[in-house]
Structure 1
Amino acid sequence: MTDMTRNWAPESAADYAALPGPGGRRSKLPALDAKRWTLKVALSQRPWSFVASIAMAAAFVRNGLTPVVVGHAVDEAIATPSWQRLGFWILVLAGLYLVAVGVNWIARFMLVRSQQLVSHDLRTMVTDRIQDPRGFAGRERTPGGLLLVASADTQRVGEIVMMTVMPVAEAASITYGAIMMYTINPWLSLAVLVGGPMLVIVALRVGRPLQRRSVVRQQALAQTAATAADVVQGLRILKGLGAILTVRGRYEEESGVAYARTVEANAAEARLNGATDATGAIFVSALGIAAGVLAFHGLVTIGQLITVVGLTQFLITPMTMLGKNLASRWASAEASGLRIREVLGAGFEHTSEVDAERTSRFIDALPTGLTVVRGVDHELVARLEALPRTRVIVAPHAADLFDGSVADNVYPDLAVAEQALRVACCDDIPAGSQQRVGEGGRMLSGGQRQRVALARAVAFDPEVLVLQDPTTAVDSVTEQNIADRLSRQRADKITLVFSEAPAWHAVATNHVSVADLLALTAGFDGEIAG
């Protein structure tokens, strides 16, 4: 849930990148209009991602040292038996193993940390943008589609940090392999230096269809998942309308398209894997045969031959994976990044908030205490919603709750949350503030959901609180108690209640008509678009 203590609202979509994260940590993500945005996102977690790159490179090189050590052990302790040299090389292998454990842990920790920080920052930016009361101007976006952007797309872009870590380790491995080969035979070293880039080129060329089809697959899967989420959200309404079969047919059609696109993308990926693996196998086989010929003619020792064979097996993974990652991961991250930026860069439905001077004049004209508004008017509510959220909160008649405890849905500070729950008469909730509500508040009754939502608005304690029929789902006794407690809680602040219930009229210190408020907000019409 968004921290309600944060001062809304960014003036433009680009301002979301500057919002502080947990503990006041600032996002390192680039501006939405930055050139090479995906690359800058991948590099945004430096220097920690660079630490991961260095540690991962050390881990890869450590793996490549094993055949070198074994080759030396064969020449020095097996070909000419020596228990002393054999023990020495065993200790060297043990030391390399310990080094491998340490650098692998550092590399994996820093990589996962960097990936999760990028994903978290993107998720925070997207969810803040989705929850902005000003909405999306001129764009039709379903809840399911937005959910996919906030979850799958942000995760996929976060994983792109791997492209600043693994390629460095893979390039370091190839360079190390070439150096080791040079100590044995310069021609073997040249073969490694030529073969590595060739395998990358093969992967990039074969991977072009995968780049295109993976983007199409993502779009189809996203559309299918979005439709499923939208159907689940509106399931009761669809049942009531008798439209289940129609929606089922639509979902089946979209799912079939997603299935076909997935098969096409997987086929392209299989061709990429087959081509790179086959090319890599041919390369290392040729390298091994060449080393065998050199050993046959006495140009390399048996230990060196073992080293070459081991190095070729070690090199096949970084040589093939470098091209695969470039061919498959980058295009997917680019597509997800584009969707994220489209959401973050979408214009506001309410183009601007009412200026401070007019807001102050309007608030100064309202009486302190609880004021009941006679009647209801959607235009008036829209005008009130255009007021700055830092001063005026318009609590909707039906508010969404999120999976977690009641307190989590009300306010970050537990003491403040529990006081607001008392004002909203939530005493009948079995486990109190620690009761889990379930997604959408499904584990609470309708009256409990409405009162928890009311407590959330009360806890924020705005200068002006506007409530729309806040007690329609509770009994008359509870309604009267809520009205009494709320009027006392906000006796020194301004509270507007749109309600015809007698309980609210009984405790109200003031009454005002819709026409009076429309007159007070007459100058706000131009601030609302669409």
Structure 2
Amino acid sequence: MSVPMKTPDNGSIVDYSALPGPGAQPSRMPPLDARMWTLKVALSQHPWSYIASVGMAITFVCNGLTPVVVGRAVDEAIAVGELRRLVFWILMLMLLFATSILVNWVARYMMVRSQQLVSHDLRTMVTDRIQDPRGFRGRGRTAGGLLSVASSDTQRVGDVVMMTVFPVAEVASIIYGATLTFLISPWLGLAVLLGGPLLVIIALRTARPLQARSVERQKAIAQASATATDVVQGLRILKGLGAIVTVRRRYEEVSTNAYRKTVHASAAEARLNGVTEASGAIFVSGIGIAAGFLALNGQMSIGELITVVGLTQFLIMPMTMLGKNVASRWASAEASAKRIREVLGAEFERTSELEADTAQRIISRLPRGVTVVGADPQVDPDPIIATLESLPRTRVIVAPHAADLFDGTVADNVHPDRAIADEAIRVASCDDIPGGADKMVGEGGRMLSGGQRQRVALARAIAADAEVLILQDPTTAVDSVTEQNIAGQVAAFRKDRVTVVFSEAPAWRAVADQQLEPAALATLLAEVPAGEDRADG
């Protein structure tokens, strides 16, 4: 069963594990409490990931056919001097290589495509949850920690798609190699069939320390990344408090811990690589020596000897990589998946929204036109704004005093439709910004002045064209002339809709259709019997 979550818009149920991405086919994400969640996520891009698995298996088998073709060429052409047969087998080898290249390209394309789509859909799910206005209940979640989950953890779980592709190809290779070897020598075929699982078992047992250490390394690196992000985010405040030295010491501690955990895990990984490579070499050497004795005793031809030796050389890679990949990658992916599920399934700080009928009654009491709400030292406006913020976001936009901008042009920050963006830019008096709507604003609007940032944020709120627009001191950073222009243009643009402005500025009071004190607005917002008509001011 998936985790149900009420949207702030209309009270309907949303499952963050089912949100689609913009790819050709959104991933079929499993419910958050599903068993083997990581594996199901890795398979969520079927049938494309299945196509990648089959294609990679065909590629591996084509590579394994190379020693077979060479062995047949030796027996049927070179040993007896048959030029035509030699040309035939050379053409067969060329066809084999062409097939392998083509199928390998398709398989890897499908695999990488599936990886990226799964990662994208996970990032979308996580960022949607992070941006949910109801927030997180319980333990504090820092911006750096959430960034680590939304970036590295989602990418790591997406990469686990590879674990559904290569193991299929590796198992197919072992079965194929054992079958061909069995046709040449049953005892050697049996040895290959038993040796593959044995090498996997050796890799899995050797990788046990790596599994635990890789999880510890991952946690330490994530903590270091999160700490660095949080430090950068609050750098100005830290400088003002004179806490740079303290924070530096703290970051040095987490960075050193990440370094030590990385070295510790790398040592375990080196031991795993050494053991698996040595085991594979011993196995291949044993098969090769046994095949040599059989050839000396006349129990197999020179071509068959070449085939067996070539097959064992081919099999060493899938035999060693199967256990190594499962052991080293899966534990890290499971740790990342756990953190992703914790974020997606976290409880909300605000668990309920106003019911639709209650919201309708509140909205119906708000007068049309511009309503200016002044300040009252005896009345805290925050509860009033919180009530307005709890109204459905499809109908009400609450624009804060300071809004963040993202890297891009002014128009990009206002609205994706250029015509709508241009109109909102005009209403918010942003058209005098040097460079106009195409000016790059920089991350956080760093390439704009304070007044310009405030006007772009206002234009974005206006472009939303909400039924109810709430503005909190929208023009404190602009000059008086510009403020008058903005107030007049906003009043004219939204004359038939509800606009509530929390401001003491004379320019807004001059264009107000009505003026209220905070206490009067609080009374107006009080719940009233259903069916009451809208106030007309």
Fold match by TM threshold 0.5 = yes
- CA deviation after TM superposition for structure 1 residue 522, in Å: 4.3
1:448-487 aligned at under 5 Å gives the runs 448-487=452-491
Match of 1:347 in 2: 347
Return 65-74 or 416-425, whichever deviates more: 416-425
Question: CA separation in 1, counterparts of 2:525 and 2:139?
Answer: 27
**Residues 103 and 25 (structure 1 numbering): CA distance in 2 closer, same or farther, change over 3 Å?**
closer
- CA deviation after TM superposition for structure 1 residue 8, in Å: 5.3
RMSD: 1.7
Q: Secondary structure at the match of 2:516?
A: strand
Match of 1:4 in 2: none
Q: Secondary structure at the match of 1:88?
A: helix
Kept in 1: contact 2:362–2:527 (CA 8 A): no
Kept in 2: contact 1:14–1:344 (CA 8 A): no
In the alignment, does 2:375 pair up with 1:406?
A: no
Match of 1:127 in 2: 127
1:222-241 aligned at under 5 Å gives the runs 222-241=222-241
Q: Which amino acid aligns with 2:357?
A: E
Match of 1:505 in 2: 509
Q: Which amino acid aligns with 1:113?
A: R
Match of 1:440 among 421, 424, 444: 444
Match of 2:251 in 1: 251
Kept in 1: contact 2:371–2:501 (CA 8 A): yes
1:292-311 aligned at under 5 Å gives the runs 292-311=292-311
Q: Secondary structure at the match of 1:466?
A: strand
Question: CA separation in 2, counterparts of 1:33 and 1:13?
Answer: 17
**Residues 14 and 389 (structure 1 numbering): CA distance in 2 closer, same or farther, change over 3 Å?**
closer
Match of 1:273 in 2: 273
Match of 2:112 in 1: 112
- CA deviation after TM superposition for structure 1 residue 409, in Å: 2.0
Deviations 1:19-42 (A, max 9, x none): 343279654101111111111111
1:125-204 aligned at under 5 Å gives the runs 125-204=125-204
Q: Which amino acid aligns with 2:353?
A: E
Q: Secondary structure at the match of 1:504?
A: helix
**Residues 11 and 199 (structure 1 numbering): CA distance in 2 closer, same or farther, change over 3 Å?**
farther
Match of 2:534 in 1: none
- CA deviation after TM superposition for structure 1 residue 498, in Å: 0.8
Match of 2:358 in 1: 358
Q: Which amino acid aligns with 1:140?
A: G
Return 395-404 or 270-279, whichever deviates more: 395-404
Equivalent residues, number: 518
Deviations 1:218-268 (A, max 9, x none): 111111100100111111111111111010000001101111111111111
**Residues 434 and 23 (structure 1 numbering): CA distance in 2 closer, same or farther, change over 3 Å?**
farther
Question: CA separation in 2, counterparts of 1:273 and 1:430?
Answer: 59
1:15-34 aligned at under 5 Å gives the runs 15-22=15-22, 26-34=26-34
Q: Which amino acid aligns with 1:482?
A: I
In the alignment, does 2:521 pair up with 1:517?
A: yes
Q: Secondary structure at the match of 1:39?
A: helix
Kept in 2: contact 1:10–1:16 (CA 8 A): no
Kept in 2: contact 1:18–1:26 (CA 8 A): no
**Residues 9 and 176 (structure 1 numbering): CA distance in 2 closer, same or farther, change over 3 Å?**
farther
Q: Secondary structure at the match of 2:489?
A: helix
Match of 1:102 in 2: 102
- CA deviation after TM superposition for structure 1 residue 74, in Å: 1.2
- CA deviation after TM superposition for structure 1 residue 407, in Å: 2.5
Match of 1:528 in 2: none
Identity of aligned residues (%): 69
In the alignment, does 2:419 pair up with 1:415?
A: yes
Match of 1:3 in 2: none
Kept in 1: contact 2:26–2:121 (CA 8 A): no
Question: CA separation in 2, counterparts of 1:10 and 1:103?
Answer: 48
Kept in 2: contact 1:374–1:498 (CA 8 A): yes
Return 437-446 or 456-465, whichever deviates more: 437-446
**Residues 123 and 364 (structure 1 numbering): CA distance in 2 closer, same or farther, change over 3 Å?**
same
Kept in 1: contact 2:429–2:455 (CA 8 A): yes
1:490-501 aligned at under 5 Å gives the runs 490-501=494-505
Question: CA separation in 1, counterparts of 2:410 and 2:204?
Answer: 52
Kept in 2: contact 1:397–1:468 (CA 8 A): yes
Deviations 1:464-484 (A, max 9, x none): 111111111222222111111
Q: Which amino acid aligns with 2:17?
A: A
Match of 1:326 in 2: 326
- CA deviation after TM superposition for structure 1 residue 183, in Å: 1.9
- CA deviation after TM superposition for structure 1 residue 445, in Å: 2.1
- CA deviation after TM superposition for structure 1 residue 13, in Å: 8.7
Kept in 2: contact 1:13–1:129 (CA 8 A): no
**Residues 403 and 13 (structure 1 numbering): CA distance in 2 closer, same or farther, change over 3 Å?**
farther
Match of 2:532 in 1: none
Q: Which amino acid aligns with 2:410?
A: V
Question: CA separation in 2, counterparts of 1:396 and 1:437?
Answer: 19
Q: Secondary structure at the match of 1:22?
A: coil
Q: Which amino acid aligns with 2:495?
A: A
Q: Secondary structure at the match of 2:501?
A: strand
**Residues 23 and 99 (structure 1 numbering): CA distance in 2 closer, same or farther, change over 3 Å?**
closer
- CA deviation after TM superposition for structure 1 residue 133, in Å: 1.0
Q: Which amino acid aligns with 1:114?
A: S
Question: CA separation in 1, counterparts of 2:365 and 2:489?
Answer: 25
- CA deviation after TM superposition for structure 1 residue 384, in Å: 1.4
**Residues 255 and 83 (structure 1 numbering): CA distance in 2 closer, same or farther, change over 3 Å?**
same
**Residues 23 and 518 (structure 1 numbering): CA distance in 2 closer, same or farther, change over 3 Å?**
farther
Kept in 2: contact 1:13–1:346 (CA 8 A): no
Deviations 1:172-198 (A, max 9, x none): 111111111112111111111101001
Q: Secondary structure at the match of 1:516?
A: helix
Kept in 2: contact 1:153–1:337 (CA 8 A): yes
Question: CA separation in 2, counterparts of 1:254 and 1:122?
Answer: 27
Deviations 1:135-192 (A, max 9, x none): 1112301111111111100001111111111100000111111111112111111111
Kept in 1: contact 2:142–2:226 (CA 8 A): yes
Kept in 2: contact 1:9–1:132 (CA 8 A): no
- CA deviation after TM superposition for structure 1 residue 521, in Å: 3.5
Q: Which amino acid aligns with 2:40?
A: K
Question: CA separation in 1, counterparts of 2:336 and 2:54?
Answer: 28
Question: CA separation in 2, counterparts of 1:436 and 1:37?
Answer: 42
Question: CA separation in 2, counterparts of 1:9 and 1:359?
Answer: 11
Q: Which amino acid aligns with 1:493?
A: R
Q: Which amino acid aligns with 1:151?
A: S
Q: Secondary structure at the match of 2:15?
A: helix
Q: Which amino acid aligns with 1:111?
A: M
Match of 1:90 in 2: 90
Question: CA separation in 2, counterparts of 1:48 and 1:10?
Answer: 35
Return 73-82 or 223-232, whichever deviates more: 73-82
Match of 2:535 in 1: none
Match of 1:39 in 2: 39
Match of 2:395 among 391, 396, 415: 391
Question: CA separation in 1, counterparts of 2:20 and 2:46?
Answer: 18
Kept in 1: contact 2:362–2:526 (CA 8 A): no
Q: Which amino acid aligns with 1:128?
A: D
- CA deviation after TM superposition for structure 1 residue 9, in Å: 4.5
